[in-house]
Amino acid sequence: MTPFPSPPPPSLIAPLPSFDKFFVDTRGKRTVPYASPGESRPAANGASRTREPVDLLTGGPLRPVDPRTVPSSRKPVQILAKSPGAAPAVRPEDIFRCESPDDHDYEEVCLEPSPSSGGYSSLGSGGEKKENGKAPDLIPHPINTQDILKSVVNCIHKKHGCAWKDQLRRLKGHLVTCKYEAEPCRLKCGAKIPNLMMEDHVRSTCPNRPVACPHCGTDVPVAEHQNHASSCPMEATYCENKCGTKVPRRGMGKHRSQDCPKRAVPCPHCHAQVVYDTFQSHQGKCAKVPLACPNGCGGTGIPREDMDRHLGSKCPNSPSLCLFKDAGCRFKGARMTVEEHEELCYRDHLTLLMGLVVKQGQQIHALTNALRHLSTNHTGNLMWKITEVSSKMKEARSKSGLELCSAPFYTSPFGYKLSASVFLNGNGAGEGGYVSVYIKILPGDYDNLLRWPFSHTVAFTLYDQDPAPERACNVVESFVPDPSWKNFQAPSKDTDSLGFGFPKFVPHEALHKRNYIKDDTIFVRVKVEPAKVIAV
């Protein structure tokens, strides 16, 4: 096997720019020239034979490669760098040829640092990763480094539009200013942006781009603009006291404590908290505000709540009325003067009092009549409750002709005036054994407007007070007046006018057979209504 020549000493090789990957573009493919070492292949007769290493570019024996001797169509055309500034992936003496088992002319090889082995790993054209750059399939290739650095290459961003083309040694310097090279955002937002787009990014899309606050003018990053706006000391906000004023946030404290018309201020007299714009109104009615006596008595510092007491009992200059003002005395003067008047004019005051008594008596009489009229029954239906029946029955038996009379009632608001009467021990034919009931016609206020003789139907009812109403057995008697009787004519002023009714209304023995008397009380109903005339 023919060995490869040793690479030149490192001291004679100029350092390469820092690149992660190297590719040589020959025959339209990005590759690295490689040579195949000798390998064993079976012979036709089945015996193995050893193949000597050959140069796959020329097909001849392996020999040191000088780029100057490579035909122009096979010279390196483009070397691409992936990450400028990164740790070097290969050194000039570590440019490898790849062992190709199937005699390819070129194969793409990618060399990357291998943290696990401290050497390099390769990615073949199939994408498989192989650890340690000095593996058997990677063999050092002696290439003149200076010639490589003089090679004319395109910018790695050519496909993005960069037209730069120069020697490889100048590529690193170009990438510093290449507008297609990605650089960290200068506003430190964390993004990597091509230089070509950096200005547009900083101006339009960077979250850290400065934006002037419309209130204070301070440049604030866009991402923090909302937080700043909610706390900007120059932003005008509405007063929290709802006075309607907009004040910069930093001046809100002074506004609320000194300028706001809705601020709370303490009253110096009653110490209550009062809204500032109502302070004057409060002073006009505050009970603790000190005042001077309006009568000029010299009193000062009198609280408003005590002024009435001062004027009524303490102020010597307060105008006073005579004690007999309600009787008609009209004298008015200072307290001392009024006292002298009351002592000197007692006869006049006595005369006024006598007139007042007469006037009040007339008023009482008028009010009594009005009250009586209002309390009078005007329905023609009287429910009469008679209490203490036992004692009244005993009295009736001892006094012959004892009559119980009901309150007067009317048949209608402007109708006949009537009164019912009961003789508990009977009257006339029923005396001594019956209860007698009668109705009397009394002189009324509207007799001149009524028709005479009286012709209304009158019905008397004595109620059975049985607890079960369906078992009650009431006593009912009624009559229609005879027009020929004088008792039904217009009544006279004689209070002893006779009534008309039933002398034998109910016998005494029947009163105790049922519940006509209960709790020593009986109920008698008198119902008066117009007679029903039936045509014949």
Give the range among 238-242, 395-399, 405-409 with minimum mean pLDDT.
238-242
User: What is the model's pTM?
Assistant: 0.39
Residue 82: predicted pLDDT: 38
Task: For residue 434, give the 3-state DSSP assignment.
Answer: strand
Q: 324 Cβ partners below 8 Å, 6+ apart? A: 342, 349, 352, 353
Phi and psi, residue 509, nearest 5°: -65, -25
Q: Which amino acid is at 265?
A: V
- Mean pLDDT across the chain, nearest whole number? 73
Asked whether the predicted pLDDT for residue 140 surpasses 50, the reply is no
Residue 497: predicted pLDDT: 67
Percent of the chain past pLDDT 90, that is, above it, reads 24
Helix (H) or strand (E) holding 371: helix 346-375
Measure the CA–CA gap between 304 and 181, rounded to whole angstroms.
88
436 beta partners: 423
| Candidate ranges 195-209, 334-348, 402-416; pick with highest mean pLDDT | 402-416
- Which single residue is written with the structure tokens 């923090």? 224
Residue 122: predicted pLDDT: 43
Residue intervals in the chain for CATH 2.60.210.10: 376-529
Task: Quote helix, strand, coil % in the chain, to nearest 5.
Answer: 30, 25, 45
Helix (H) or strand (E) holding 150: helix 145-150
Percent of the chain past pLDDT 70, that is, above it, reads 71
For residue 530, is the peptide bond before it cis, meaning its omega torsion is within 30 degrees of 0? no
- What is the average pLDDT across 7-32? 36
Residue 424: predicted pLDDT: 95
Measure the CA–CA gap between 463 and 525, rounded to whole angstroms.
8
Distances from the Cα of 375 to the Cα of 220, 364, 370, 383, 407, angstroms:
91, 16, 9, 14, 10
Asked whether the predicted pLDDT for residue 34 surpasses 80, the reply is no
Residue 61: predicted pLDDT: 52
Residue 494: predicted pLDDT: 64
Sorting pLDDT into bands at 50, 70 and 90, what band is 51? very low
- Which single residue is written with the structure tokens 């008015």? 332
Residue 495: predicted pLDDT: 58
182-194 per-position pLDDT tens digit? 778 888 888 887 8
Sorting pLDDT into bands at 50, 70 and 90, what band is 405? very high
Residue 534: predicted pLDDT: 52
Sorting pLDDT into bands at 50, 70 and 90, what band is 496? low
- What is the average pLDDT across 408-434? 93
Q: Which two tokens stand for residue 191?
A: 């993004």
Distances from the Cα of 270 to the Cα of 192, 267, 281, 302, angstroms:
71, 6, 14, 14
Sorting pLDDT into bands at 50, 70 and 90, what band is 463? very high
Residue 143: predicted pLDDT: 52
Q: Which two tokens stand for residue 275?
A: 């809204």
For residue 5, is the peptide bond before it cis, meaning its omega torsion is within 30 degrees of 0? no
Residue 149: predicted pLDDT: 80
Distances from the Cα of 387 to the Cα of 89, 156, 423, 520, angstroms:
131, 130, 14, 6
- What is the average pLDDT across 211-228? 80
**Pairwise pLDDT comparison (3 vs 328), residue with the higher score:** 328
Asked whether the predicted pLDDT for residue 247 surpasses 50, the reply is yes
- What is the average pLDDT across 201-216? 82
Sorting pLDDT into bands at 50, 70 and 90, what band is 310? confident
Strands 409-410 and 417-423: antiparallel
61-80 per-position pLDDT tens digit? 544 444 444 444 333 333 33
Measure the CA–CA gap between 90 and 81, rounded to whole angstroms.
12
Give the range among 79-93, 116-130, 218-232, 403-417 with minimum mean pLDDT.
79-93
Distances from the Cα of 245 to the Cα of 60, 148, 257, angstroms:
96, 77, 14
- What is the average pLDDT across 345-365? 89
Sorting pLDDT into bands at 50, 70 and 90, what band is 344? confident
24 beta partners: 31
Residue 321: predicted pLDDT: 81
Asked whether the predicted pLDDT for residue 30 surpasses 70, the reply is no
- Which single residue is written with the structure tokens 């009977």? 426
- Which single residue is written with the structure tokens 């009198």? 302
121-135 per-position pLDDT tens digit? 444 444 444 444 444
Give the range among 46-55, 164-173, 303-312, 418-427 with minimum mean pLDDT.
46-55
- The class (CATH top level) of 376-529 is mainly beta
Asked whether the predicted pLDDT for residue 474 surpasses 80, the reply is yes
Measure the CA–CA gap between 241 and 275, rounded to whole angstroms.
10
Counts of helices then strands in the chain (DSSP H, E): 11, 33
Measure the CA–CA gap between 22 and 90, rounded to whole angstroms.
9
Q: What is the DSSP letter of 401?
A: T
Helix (H) or strand (E) holding 527: strand 521-529
Measure the CA–CA gap between 281 and 268, rounded to whole angstroms.
14
Q: Which long-range contacts (CB under 8 A, 24 or more apart) does 399-404 make?
A: 400/425, 400/431, 401/427, 403/427
- What is the average pLDDT across 514-533? 90
For residues 504 and 434, is the Cβ–Cβ distance under 8 A? yes
Residue 435 CB neighbour total at 10 angstroms: 28
Residue 311: predicted pLDDT: 78
Residue 45: predicted pLDDT: 46
